[in-house]
């Protein structure tokens, strides 16, 4: 699904592959299940709730938020905006790599830290089998245990 100028809003979508693109506009989805998902916006926010599946998400200018209900691989990047990823799983199995050039990284996840600095966080949760890569050039990163 693609739009040049306008919002994309989806609800209760179950597909094998999803591709969402907005050149100038927000992308919002509630209850999206897909094996592979690609989300990209040039100017706008990405907000995906109750998400299941692997994701590659990019935003040139805008916040990126994912609320996940299943384990998967995440590759999320924003040039100017915050990244917030929330997991509702009791036990997450992930290898986290978070980088920001200008911002802070916060987490309430029980990480086994491998590397921590002001602009970088690397660690393992559980078995560490799912890669979670988060990059914010100018923005904060939050990795949260959803309540």
Does the global pTM surpass 0.95? no
**CB-based burial label for 67 (10 Å; 0-12, 13-18, 19+):** middle
Strand duo 120-125 + 94-102: pairing: antiparallel
As a whole-number percent, the residues of the chain with pLDDT over 90 amount to: 76
* Mean per-residue pLDDT, 88-114: 89
Give the pLDDT band (50/70/90) at residue 90: low
Q: If we measure between CA atoms, which residue out of 71, 128, 63 comes closest to residue 94?
A: 128
Q: Domain extents for the chain?
A: 2-145
| pLDDT score for 117 | 87
């Amino acid at each position: 699904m693609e739009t040049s100028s306008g919002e994309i809003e989806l609800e209760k979508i179950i597909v094998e592959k999803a591709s969402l693109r907005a050149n100038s506009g927000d992308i919002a989805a509630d209850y999206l299940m897909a094996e592979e998902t690609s989300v990209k916006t040039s100017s706008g926010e990405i907000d995906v709730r109750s998400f299941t599946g692997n994701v590659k998400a990019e935003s040139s200018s805008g916040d990126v938020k994912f609320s996940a209900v299943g384990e998967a691989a995440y590759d999320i990047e924003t040039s100017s905006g915050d990244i917030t990823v929330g997991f509702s799983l009791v036990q997450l199995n992930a290898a986290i790599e978070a980088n920001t050039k200008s911002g802070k990284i916060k987490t309430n996840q029980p990480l086994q830290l491998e590397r921590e600095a002001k602009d970088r966080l690397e660690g393992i949760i559980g078995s560490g089998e799912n890669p979670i890569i988060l990059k914010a050039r100018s923005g904060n990163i939050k990795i949260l245990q959803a309540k």
